[in-house]
Structure formats: structure tokens, C-alpha cells
Amino acid sequence: MFFACPTLLAVLSCGVFAEEVQPDFGVSATFSIVAVDPSTGECGAAVASKYPAVGKVVPYVRAGVGAFCTQHWHNPSWGERALDLLAAGHGSEEVLGILLADDARRDKRQLAIIDMKGRAANRNPTNADASGEYWGAMSGKFFACQGNTLAGRQVVVAMAEAFEETDGSLADRLLAALLAADQAGGDHRGRLAAGIRIAKTGHDGNWFELDVDQSDDAVTDLYRKYFSVEHEAKGDWSIRVANVSPPSHPKLPEVSLELARDAEVREVTEVMRVFSTQETQRAPGPTRLFSRLRRFLARCAVGNGPPSSPLPANSKR
């Protein structure tokens, strides 16, 4: 006769001896955005990361259906499945629920999905790896943006603001969002790869796609590649900034005192004066100084700052 030990059963049921869950497809620490333009029948996604060839494992789009991104502990096999579920009539939140229902790695996933009507949903990795900090997400009219392993919350905010305020095609706005996020700090480990995908009703497969698989400054290189190609996906914004060179890292954009808004010039000039003259008695703390600089650079990046920034004044305001 066999008698089970209650203590042993309790230990086993708690999973003490269970094998630790590992990433099934790798860890794509990254930031991304999914979006649609119902007026043109376009849907798209853009992504950047230190993960090599990130554009080939994170974003998925399908004409007439929507866009999906899977990241942090990403699962590329979910790309087509998520779009199949969306095409079958499941809502965005429902699709994420189905994917995560029996997933042992659910708290390591960061997901975003949007349908052609702009109904978006995010899922954050609540048990992200320690290296995955900072993580977060935002959504708004016809878009959702998200990221992990970020320099800070300003990355997500800059991404959302740039998408909302850039006047151009969907591809223009996605690239503008990627640039703004990158200039706000992006992936705190570095800049290796970036990609963009667009699908359009009436066209099979990806209507437009562009990748930088490995680079020292991937988003900047994607920006340059974007303006070197001819495609109907490009809009008015791409024409306006075609000859504007993106700033290099980590240098600050040059400030044009004549053309920049007075309030912004006064703010950044004061910050730079404090640094250059080392007036320590009057200087605010380092955290406040860098915060002011970040706000200024974020405004440059979304088109409200000096025209020498990669996104010159072109907002809808």
C-alpha cells in the first residue's frame, strides 16, 4: 500500500520542482506602435530595438483586418493567428484574451492589436525581466504604442504625441512616432534595428515594408531609407522633411533662435547657460535640468520645436 506524504504533495503542487519557464522565441526588448487610417484603408506597425532584425519578428499587418505586435518575450507564431482571430470577428481585447488564456508566459508578454475601425488593446508584461524596465503603453485615436527596456516614460509619450500631431500619411506618422521615441531615449541599451509595415485594402500582403536589420543608429538609418524610396505610402510630411538630416546621437539638436518659439528658446537657453557657466547656487537639481531638456527635445521631435530637428514644425495645431 502506498501512502502519499501531504507535505511532499504540497511542495510538488506549488511547482517547487517544476522547470523554470524560459522564453520560447527569445526576448525582443523594444518599442512599437500599431495604427490604422480608416479613411484610406491602411493599417500599419513600426518598431525599433537593439534586437537584430526586429521588424521581422514583432510587427504583423493584414489588409482589411488590422495590425498586431508581440514583444518582450515575443511569440512570432501569434502574428498570423492574432490577425486570423481579428478577421473572424473577435474584438481586439478578446483576441489578446484568447492568446494569453493558456499561456504560461503571459506575464512576460507585451502585446498590441488594432482593428480597421481603430479599436485597440494593449497588454503589458507585468512580470517583465529586470532589464525590461521601464515598460508601459498608451493608446489613442486609431493607434496604440508600447515599449519595454525604455529610457523612461517619455519614450511612450513622445511616440503617441508625434503620431497624433504629425500631418501626413499613415506611414509618415508611424515613422514620425518612431523618430520621436528614439530621440526621447528609446531602448536604453542602444539602437540596432528598426522596421515598418503597411497593409492596404485591395493589395495582397505587405503593401509597404522597410527594415534596418543591424545598425549603430537604426531609426536614423530607417529615416534615411524611407526618404530614398519611391512609394505611394509616403505622404506630405515625407516631402516637407525629405532634405532635413536627423540629428546624431547623443548630440542635442542645434537651436535656431530666430525660428524656434521664444518660450522654448528661453527654456533651453537657460538650461544650457546653467551648464556652461556652472552657476551651482542658482542651478536647479540635475533631475530637473535633464527633465527640462527632455521636454524640450520631445517638443522638437514632434514638430513643435526648432526646424533643425528631424520633425520640423508641421503639426495639426
Handedness of CA 223, 227, 232, 237 (dihedral sign): positive
What is the predicted pLDDT for the residue at 25?
75
pLDDT by residue for the chain (317 residues), tens only, comes to 444 454 444 444 444 434 578 877 777 778 999 999 999 999 999 999 988 999 999 999 999 999 999 988 888 889 999 999 999 999 999 999 999 999 888 888 999 999 999 999 999 988 888 877 899 999 999 999 999 989 999 999 999 999 999 999 999 999 999 999 999 999 888 889 999 999 999 999 999 999 999 999 999 999 999 999 999 999 988 777 766 666 554 433 333 333 334 444 444 444 444 444 444 343 444 444 445 455 555 555 444 443 333 443 343 43
What is the predicted pLDDT for the residue at 226?
95
Range(s) within the chain of domains with CATH label 3.60.20.10: 30-240
What is the predicted pLDDT for the residue at 47?
96
Q: Class of 30-240 per CATH?
A: alpha beta
Beta-carbon contacts of residue 59 (< 8 Å; ≥ 6 apart): 32, 34, 45, 46, 47, 67, 68, 69, 195, 196, 197
Lookup: cell for 128: 517583465
What is the predicted pLDDT for the residue at 165?
94
Q: Do 202 and 249 touch, CB atoms closer than 8 A?
A: no
Instruction: Give the separation between CA 181 and CA 250, rounded to whole angstroms.
Output: 14
